[in-house]
Amino acid sequence: MEEEDPDIHTTSSNDSNDEVMSEIHLGCPPSHMAPYISRFRLYSPHLNATGDSLGSLCASIIEDKEGDLDVPRRKNRDQPTSCPLLIQHRITSSIPSVGLQVWKAAFLLVDFILHQFLTSSDFSNEVALELGSGTGLVGIVLARFAKIVFLTDRDAEILDNCATNVQLNRELFKCDNVLVRELDWKKSWPPIVESSEMSCRYAWSSSEIHMAEQASLLLAADVIYCDELTDSLFDTLECLMSRGSEKVLYLSLEKRYNFTIDALDTVANGYLHFLKYLEDEESAEGSAAELSLRSAYFVGKRIDIKQIPQYVREYERGNDLEIWQIRYVRSMTT
């Protein structure tokens, strides 16, 4: 399995009951099913136009290292300032519960968010919604700059863990503006108001639904790994992005390869299925007449991640990590 997928490591062999491990967690001591708290560090010596910086955010923070655990990944000890980000996660999980782990694409999206904030006014004071938030790592970092952040997922255990991480980082990352909410992609948007199969703690109010529909920024990290879920994701995106204000989605992913008999080669089938939903931004401009016959479609643009510094040092970037900017376009004829 390791040769077919460099980022997921299995520890059993029963389909959805397989225990998988993110590459981020390699080197962590075995903890069976117990939660584990890791400290990840965000480095930045850079200033933006307003003089704010990640370094100045950290300057007044005194870290108590007692009881906190560091992931034994490569680190740059020469950087002068860093922010600690505490994340509770599982070392391994079943495939349906991968949201309990930390994945490389989430760190890449954090790098992108920090770079946008430190070099522009993007993401400042925005209302944002993250789809498939998992541990909440991405949205927690964004909360330091955004107006409101909705962290959404569907499993009670994942939502509870996400809420715990919000509390762990509340003081440093200004998490009073973070709302953890249930969002099942297999159910239609909008969600039922104040009604949930889980605790009402994660239920939506009508005002929150309205606020989410007015969000201009959507985020998703490492949610492309199952065709059925990808289909459900784009169904949800179509409902959400066709309502309220104009929205843009930034989606980070890792291409995962498996050997197929049909191709007699290793193929990233999940990635190829994802691409079927997108019209390339450049080709879409050249085929405007043809696309105008369609009521709506998604336009995707791959972002050059080589232009994004690595503010999070506890992961290895590879050629299979990508970020996509995705917009939903409605035809002028409809």
- DSSP character for 115? H
- The SS3 call for residue 228 is helix
pLDDT of residue 316: 92
Tokens of 125: 């004071």
Query: Whose CA is closest to 312, among 76, 118, 7?
Result: 76
Domain boundaries defined on the chain: 96-330
Q: Are 173 and 141 in contact (CB under 8 A)?
A: yes
pTM metric for this prediction:
0.84
**Strands 217-221, 127-131: pairing kind:** parallel
Q: Which strands make up the sheet holding 19-22, listed edge to edge?
A: 8-10, 19-22, 93-94
pLDDT of residue 291: 58
CA-to-CA distance for 323 and 138, rounded, in angstroms? 14
Q: What would the CATH number be for the domain defined by 96-330?
A: 3.40.50.150
Q: What are residue 249's DSSP bridge partners?
A: 218, 326
In tens digits, the chain (334 residues) has pLDDT values of 222 333 444 443 345 577 889 999 887 776 656 789 999 998 865 433 333 455 555 443 434 444 343 444 444 444 446 788 999 999 999 989 999 999 999 999 999 999 998 888 888 899 999 999 999 999 999 999 899 999 999 999 999 999 999 999 998 888 999 999 999 999 989 998 865 455 588 999 999 999 999 999 999 999 999 999 999 999 999 999 999 999 999 999 999 987 666 655 678 899 999 999 999 876 655 565 565 566 789 999 999 999 999 999 889 998 999 999 999 998 765 4
DSSP secondary structure of 249-296: EEEEEE---EEETTTTEEE-HHHHHHHTTEEEHHHHHHTHHHHTTSSE
118: which residues sit within 8 A by CB, 6+ positions away? 44, 46, 47, 48, 53, 54
Query: Whose CA is closest to 325, among 301, 298, 307?
Result: 301
